[in-house]
Amino acid sequence: QVQLVESGGGLVQAGGSLRLSCSASGRIFTSVTMGWFRRAPGKEREFVAAITRSGGNTDYTDSVKGRFTISRDNAKNTVSLQMNSLKPEDTAVYYCALRFGSGDTNWYLSSTYHYWGQGTQVTVSS
């Protein structure tokens, strides 16, 4: 069993920054891909970013490219999401997710992930 715990959410003004962290515990397979998703009020959960185990490959949804950066520390089993230049439309509950395997095929699909955190609220005021 794997547990994921997010932290770092909060309230910030537009243009500000937040850093989300996700700590994974339990039986972690050698090759796992980590991702961040978000769900805004009244909307479907959407892909935000993902990173391969080596950190050598990352991807972002278009709306956050150039503003968000995903990174990971395998020694600590953590993945982070640095969010800069935040906009009110970034307001959402952010979820950390883990899936087994080292590839990036369809990693923007939430259905391909095996474990999820409980979510952390990010609110950006205008």
Q: Is the pLDDT of residue 119 over 80?
A: yes
Two tokens at 74? 């395998």
Helix (H, G, I), strand (E, B), or coil: what is residue 70? strand
Helix (H, G, I), strand (E, B), or coil: what is residue 116? strand
Side chain identity at residue 89, one-letter code: E
pLDDT digits (tens, 9 = 90+) for 23-52: 998 877 567 899 999 999 999 999 999 999
In sequence order, the 6+-apart residues with CB closer than 8 A to the CB of 103 are: 33, 52
Across the chain, mean pLDDT equals: 93
